Each structure stands twice: as structure tokens, then as C-alpha cells.
Homo-oligomer: A and B are copies of this chain.
Amino acid sequence: MKRLQMFGLLNKDMDHIEKELYRSVQGDDDLLSETSLHLLRAGGKRLRPVFVLMGGKFGNYDLEKLKRIAVPLELIHSASLVHDDVIDDADLRRGEPTVKSKWGDKIAMYTGDYIYAKALIMTSELKNPRIHQILSKAMVEMSIGEMEQIRDFFNSEQSIRHYLRRIRRKTALLIAISCQLGALAADANPEDARLLYNYGYNVGMAFQIRDDLLDLSGTEKQIGKPPGSDMRQGNITLPVIYSLEDDRLRDRLLEELDLIRGGRMEVGRAIDLILSGDGIIRAEELASRYISKALTALDGLPNNKTKRNLRDIAFFVTGRAY
């Protein structure tokens, strides 16, 4: 996945963020630099930094200040991915070998610990306790979300509420605070910061639902890893839950899930079952409802170019699933 390249204005600043990202994990230890850079160089949309900078546009935009939020947020996200890949036994991420597959679980674990700690150092330079507080709370929620995910592996009885709570913790919260902290660091109006949080939260929910959809309906080239990876790991996502609610599919799908749980790598039949029902379309509908809510949050913000860009991003990052 390539970096978001929609906004001429931010591109120069995002280049700077990219350099700072690489710089932030160098100079301490050769192996840690190598593993961290391998992870960061594999790319990603840099969604969280983009949102931080956009949030900053609602106040006194100062790149030197904002980078101390933007870089740590991308680092925290990246650290969570290295640990995720250990849990999921994932060999590929964004089309590249994972740290876990290249260096093993143990080194992946400490690479994550290191990147988390580097993120914290950088935010502590801001000397703003409220930012630290919001960030560490989000980190706690993320780790709870990860634990819920492990516990819910292959839990075919989980409710939609369950799923939504998990993706809220795993994804939406960090995107929400990216928008919010950008605004706070730029001393924006607190009400604007609150609306930006709501925008980010709803975009984040839609984004994760879309990501989970793509894992079932996308091609390996589109998603950078084999389709059905979530299911193979036992991660029961929204389209699967909807499909299990469908009496015509439930029993056959449960049977397939049992076989996968038993170690069968083939997930094609389970995917075909899901595609034959309305699980995908219902998940798309729910994602759309979140996008709607994100746009409603934008309504309260002052009309400016950034607000229009945020609207575009909302469609862009969630649109590819439809």
C-alpha cells in the first residue's frame, strides 16, 4: 500500500515525516534499526500522520510540533503490527516478509517494545501531559483489543457488538486520537478537536470493516497477503458473523470453520459460501453508515480546504471495498 498522495500541500510535509520516521529508529542498535527500518520501509498509507497534520490545520499549523505527534502515532501503529504478526503467524505484510518471518518471534517482540518506547520519548519532548495521557490510554485500549482478538479466535458465537468493540479498540481509537491530537497540539478550538475525534473514530471503524471485507473479497495483489488470511488465523470478521446469522449458510460455514480450525489451510470454500450470501453487502452497508457519521462530524467544522480534503479521505480510504 502506498502513501496517500492526494494533497499537494501535505506532500512536502509528509516527506519530512517519512524521513523523521526512519531517523527515529536509528542510532541505538544496529539490529533494532535494521528490523525497525525493514518494517517502516515496507510502507503503508501513513494514515495516522496524515490525520495529525490535517488536524493541525484547524489551529496554528507548526510542522515541528506536529511531527512529535505524527511520528509517534505511526510508530505505535507499526509496533502493534509487529506484535500482531507474531500472534497471527503472518509471513507477509504489505507484500513484504514480516519481521517475525525474517527474524523470528523473539526479535519481533523486542522490535515492537523498542518502537513503542521510541514513540514515547518523542511525545515526551512536547511537554504536554494531556497528550501523553490520551496516548497512553489509547495504548491500553489497543492491548485490550488485541487480547480480545486472541480470545475470540474461532469464536463463532460472537455478536456484532463484540466485533465492533474489538475494532474500536484495535483501530478506530488510534485514528480518532490522530485527528484530535493534531488539533490539540496546534491549540485548535476544543470543540473542533472533539469533532475531529468523532470524524476519525467513524472513519476508523469504516476503514477496519473495509479492511476485513477486502481480506475476503480482494486479490492477493490488492491486499499484499493471501486472501482469507483473517479466517485462516481464526479472526472472525463482520461478513463472517453476518453469514453465520443466515440459516441457509450457517451449518455449512460452521463446518468449514471447524476444518480450518483443525489446521486445513484451504479457505476457498468458506469464502465462496460467504460471497454467496449477503454478508459482504451488509458489512458494506454498515461501513457506509460509519462514513455518514464521519461526514456529519465534519459538518460542525469551519468550512475550509482541509475540511473538503477530510471528506475526500473518508471516501478514499473506505471506498475501495465497494
In the complex, chain B residues whose CB is within 8 Å of the CB of A120: 120, 132, 135-136, 139
Inter-chain contacts of A150 with B (CB < 8 A): 106-107, 110
Q: Is the CB of A32 within 8 A of B113?
A: no
A160 within 8 A of B: no
Q: Does A83 contact B (CB under 8 A)?
A: yes
**Which one of B105, B125, B146 contacts A133 once the chains associate, using CB atoms below 8 Å?**
B125
Asked if A127 is an interface residue, CB under 8 A from chain B, the answer is yes
What string of 1s and 0s marks CB contacts (under 8 Å) between A145-188 and chain B? Answer: 01110110000000000000000000000000000000000000
From B105, B109, B128, B147, A107 is in contact (CB under 8 Å) with B147
Known A120-B120, A124-B132; judge A140-B28 contact (CB<8 A). yes
Tell me, yes or no, whether A114 is within 8 Å of chain B by CB: yes
Could you mark each residue 111-148 of chain A with 1 if its beta carbon is under 8 Å from any beta carbon of chain B, else 0? 01110111011001111110011011101101110111
Most chain B beta-carbon contacts within 10 A, residue among A133, A135, A147 = A147
Q: Most B CB atoms within 10 A — which of A107, A135, A136?
A: A136
Query: Cβ of A114 and Cβ of B147 under 8 Å apart?
Result: yes
Residues of B within 8 A of A86 (CB): 105-106, 109
A87 near B: Cβ within 8 Å?
Answer: yes
**Of B87, B116, B133, the contact of A116 (CB 8 Å cutoff):** B116
CA of A135 to CA of B116, assembled, Å: 13
A31 lies within 8 A of chain B by Cβ: yes
**Contact status A143-B117, CB under 8 Å:** yes
- Take A87-B109, A150-B106, A150-B107 as given contacts and tell me if A124 and B144 are in contact as well, using a CB distance cutoff of 8 Å: no
Whether A144 contacts B28 by the Cβ 8 Å rule is: yes
Q: List 22 A-B contacts (CB under 8 A).
A: A31-B151, A83-B113, A86-B105, A86-B109, A87-B106, A87-B109, A87-B110, A107-B147, A110-B146, A110-B147, A113-B116, A114-B143, A114-B147, A116-B139, A117-B143, A120-B135, A120-B136, A121-B133, A121-B137, A124-B136, A128-B129, A132-B132
Q: A117-B143, A120-B139, A125-B133 are in contact. List 16 more A-B contacts (CB 8 A).
A: A29-B147, A32-B143, A83-B109, A86-B106, A87-B106, A105-B105, A106-B150, A109-B109, A113-B116, A116-B116, A120-B136, A121-B136, A121-B140, A124-B133, A124-B136, A127-B129
